[in-house]
Structure 1
């Protein structure tokens, strides 16, 4: 059976409830991982796992790993913000049959503010995939090149259970915001696990306010970036680091980036 794993906090509760309503119409197992310290609310029809914050904030990596324990054949990870398109699960299932040893990634459309679809069939007319990542034609799967692993986003992807075991899950040393998804991508790249772009596996990101660069996550990005660099030899999230540096908030040192003040 296909299992859809979603992380949730109070800040994204409305998003996840809408997502779960969409998923409830499909024959899948649903797992919601609650990341806040308080006890989780009910999510009818879904298994609920509680992973409270760690010393440095929400445990996104640990949360996904705990959710995956409940999975069977195919694991689909869908962020709290994302609604599944009508063909998302079918396209991931088809791609998994063709590429059982791969990490599978579908396109993501970012919905504008105020747009809240109420049923899955309203989504296809809104499709406008983010231009930063490939979006093959519906039903086509494209194996990514070695440089494309940097484009991996954890907000919508799928793996078979054996491939998840081979990956070893997310590195739970990452806490707070940033870095854990790029770390997983580099783990896959190093292990020779293909990355495959799945045409037609559309997810639709529900609007919420953001900042760029994400100032509220500066310390997380520095801490997790340093962890990533110690493991892989370079810093991730370079665009944000450049923006922080241009604003005078951080500076380079012989051991990497750190706060200026």
Structure 2
């Protein structure tokens, strides 16, 4: 039958998470798919044998975390017309691929799957029942029956190549972390691409992160400027408010500037 669905993931420094994600895909028992892995500014490494096609590529960039560029690059390597973008930290449930396959057959839109957050690093069993028990719904999107464009996320979504092209792909003017996926959703809305939800769950593996993400301060401010120039509104307002209240930025209706940078020791105090 050939490859009918391409799963695309981008990775940097998440080897164990990637291996768990591959184990989850293997539980889907779907050999008419491929996995495309794009390593951002890191060498690739051996991956386990699987029953589906698996290809790895390396993307070198001056950006430390070229998220927009890497997603576009992954799409350019996909063999199938229908593609699923799955975050490297996510383990798909057992009917993940079949759920997307049914959705793709119904309508040619932008599909958003659901994400549940695992609350343990111990994964003795990757079967859906165990992961469901060990996880909790997203506090903002959990329980929604429709997805507002403003809440679109890039952890678990899919579309055809034609829809991706209609949206325009990810805007590579966004460099590094922050706002590139919100911009993608706004471009979908501007180009009259419908956004719909489907029951295809991925379980997000816990990893070190920062709240607020002071470690991405420079990227977030740079991307906020790009977003504001393009859409005439500010993205990531919660983080920007925190940065302003902490004295790291000045921010008003039309302008945003970095006043000073946090020291690494300060950043570490916000690690969760």
Could you report, residue by residue, the CA deviation over 1:202-236 in whole angstroms, capped at 9, with x for unpaired residues? 01000002111101000000001101111111111
* Structure 2 gap segments, 5+ residues each: 261-272
- Equivalent residue for 2:24? 22
1:77 matched to 2:65? The reply is no
Q: How many residues align?
A: 248
Structure-2 change in CA distance of 1:134 and 1:18 (3 Å): closer
- Equivalent residue for 2:47? 43
Per-residue deviation, 1:134: 4.8
Given that 1:78 and 1:157 are in contact with CA atoms closer than 8 Å, whether structure 2 keeps it comes out as: yes
- Equivalent residue for 1:123? 131
* Structure 1 gap segments, 5+ residues each: 137-141
Structure 1 segments of 4 or more deviating over 4 A?
none
- Equivalent residue for 2:245? 246
- Equivalent residue for 1:97? 105
Distance between the aligned counterparts of 1:227 and 1:258, measured in 2? 13
Could you report, residue by residue, the CA deviation over 1:23-54 in whole angstroms, capped at 9, with x for unpaired residues? 13432200000002x42113345211211232
- Equivalent residue for 1:32? 37
Structure-2 change in CA distance of 1:117 and 1:107 (3 Å): farther
Given that 1:109 and 1:204 are in contact with CA atoms closer than 8 Å, whether structure 2 keeps it comes out as: yes
Distance between the aligned counterparts of 2:95 and 2:123, measured in 1? 19
SS at match of 1:107: strand
- Give the alignment's TM-score, normalised by structure 1: 0.88
Given that 1:169 and 1:184 are in contact with CA atoms closer than 8 Å, whether structure 2 keeps it comes out as: yes
**Which range moved further: 246-255 or 79-88?**
246-255
Distance between the aligned counterparts of 2:232 and 2:64, measured in 1? 25
Tell me which of 54, 60, 68 is aligned to 2:75.
68
SS at match of 2:222: helix
Distance between the aligned counterparts of 1:204 and 1:6, measured in 2? 15
Distance between the aligned counterparts of 1:77 and 1:163, measured in 2? 13
